[in-house]
Amino acid sequence: MNTKTFSYIGLAAALAVAPTGGHAALSYLDTSIDGEGVLVFGTPIGVINGWTSDADSKTAAFLDLNTALNATSVYTAPGGTTLQNGDILSFTDTGSATVNVLNDGAGDLAQSTSSLEGFGTTTWNLEISYSISGIAQASIGADIDTTLLANGATFAAGEGLLPAFQSGTIDIFYNEVSGFSPLAGVIDDGQQVLQLILTPGAVLGATNLELFGTVDFSWFDADMDGAADAGLLLTAAEEAAIKNLFNFVSPVGGKNSYYDIWLDGVTSLPPVANVFWDLNTNVEPNLIPLAGGNTGSLANPGCAAGKLCRTTNLNLDVEFSPVPEPSSVALLGLGLLGLGASVRRKRQA
């Protein structure tokens, strides 16, 4: 995911609509090891490192995980360092950041006014890391020599790179900031706790981009036997805590935890996906990727020779739901079909 800006002419027109909002559901984080809200500390022990241990182990309900990060996009262009109209580029987007804000739809939740079980900047939070790949089509009025541009150069209005996001994952990890975390000694610092799988495509608006996908625990329980795989080397308490960390406020099939709901879906006949995510981010500024290596008058040594790269700050909101985003069916198909037709026309020319 990056901040590519998109031409709203030609094949972009099928996607130039505002996102519909979807069915985001209230969630909470549970720091207990049994999923029943039992305190890891046993009993409330008052103020701890700036947060107050209360009568249970559940955070206040939230709709979004919020963060900001620097996203790096690496492109391979058919014309090397020169972009031409109609070029089809392959790309990979990568980035990582700390997630320390929960938002309930009305605003960011604060430890001083909400029960967050220490979640935030000083005790514990989450780390997000992603890698997403696809292809993009250049929609530009004139050739662009990317070796001659200054960092921060942008496409002209109405021009840019139109992407088709094809595959990728977003991994979420537990991040222990201090030993006062309610999960200290339970989940190891840096341990993965969730994975999000991308559904190909995207929904584009004038100022934002939405990606969609499903929540997955096959990295944790590949054989779907209800137990963590042996290779993860987890303690019984750590396994239980990971299973019970992410939950919906309203039960789904009598269950709250994402893991339990996922397991019900993948072990049903036929298997179904039943925990979904929706990521919303900005699509500005409309940066032109620069040539890598020491090519041309401006060196871009952070990017490999023969590649085009750009790094842009993104503001991300991630929502979860047991119901898929309604716009993620028809619109994604339209976008991929349009890009596919464009590729065929280019090859026939």
Q: pLDDT, tens digit, for every residue of 208-257? A: 889 999 999 999 999 999 999 989 999 999 999 999 999 999 999 999 99
* 133 backbone dihedrals φ, ψ, rounded to 5°: -125, 160
Q: Which of 349, 334, 347 is nearest to 162 (CA)?
A: 334
Q: What is the pLDDT of residue 8?
A: 31
Separation of alpha carbons 176 and 153, rounded Å: 38
Asked if residue 66 has pLDDT above 70, the reply is yes
- The yes-or-no verdict on residue 266 having pLDDT over 50 is yes
Compute φ and ψ for 153, nearest 5 degrees.
-65, 140
Six-digit token pair at 166?
């094809």
**Which pLDDT score is estimated for 1?**
36
Neighbours of 43 (CB within 10 A): 7
Q: Looking at the chain, list the stretches that DSSP marks H as alpha helix, in order from N- to C-terminal side.
A: 236-245, 258-266, 330-348
SS3 19: coil
Q: What is the Cα gyration radius of the chain?
A: 22
Q: How far apart are CA 269 and CA 267, in angstroms?
A: 7
Q: Could you give the CA distance from residue 103 to residue 63 in angstroms, rounded to a whole number?
A: 6
Cβ 133 vs Cβ 92: under 8 Å: yes
Dihedral sign (CA 317, 320, 326, 331):
positive
Pick the range with the lowest mean pLDDT from 28-42, 125-139, 309-323: 28-42
Q: Are 175 and 127 in contact (CB under 8 A)?
A: yes
Q: Is pLDDT above 60 for 273?
A: yes
* Cβ within 8 Å of residue 53, ≥6 positions away: 39, 41, 44, 45, 46, 47, 117, 182
Domain spans, the chain: 10-348
Give Cα separations from 187 to 130, 279, 342 (angstroms). Answer: 21, 26, 48
Closest CA to 152 of 311, 315, 294: 311
Host H or E run for residue 170 = strand 160-176
